[in-house]
Amino acid sequence: MNRERGRRRLMLRLPQIRVALSREPSEALGEMFESYALAADALDRFRQETPRQAVLIAEYAELCQDIEQEVVTYCSGL
């Protein structure tokens, strides 16, 4: 379930590779989907918490961006 949620979120964030993301994923890409879902969900939670934890928000925002870039690089090689 996390994999599919991660795939959908990445398809929204990365429309330029949406077609590649819609294909049957390899094991490596599936793991990236799952990691992205977990990181993005955590980021959403941290953004809603009061008081806001700026350090965690920045850390998880960077993590999400890193995963996005990794997915783009991976899909470029397909």
pLDDT score recorded for residue 56 = 96
- Other Cβ atoms less than 10 A from the Cβ of 46: the count is 18
pLDDT score recorded for residue 5 = 96
Distance CA 13, CA 71 (A): 11
Q: Has residue 1 got a pLDDT over 80?
A: no
Asked if residues 14 and 71 have their Cβ atoms less than 8 Å apart, the reply is yes
Asked if residues 28 and 78 have their Cβ atoms less than 8 Å apart, the reply is no
pLDDT score recorded for residue 77 = 84
The string of pLDDT tens digits covering residues 10-63 is 999 999 999 999 999 999 999 999 999 999 999 999 999 999 999 999 999 999
pLDDT score recorded for residue 54 = 96
Q: Kindly report the pTM of this predicted structure.
A: 0.93
What is the pLDDT of the chain when averaged over all its residues?
95
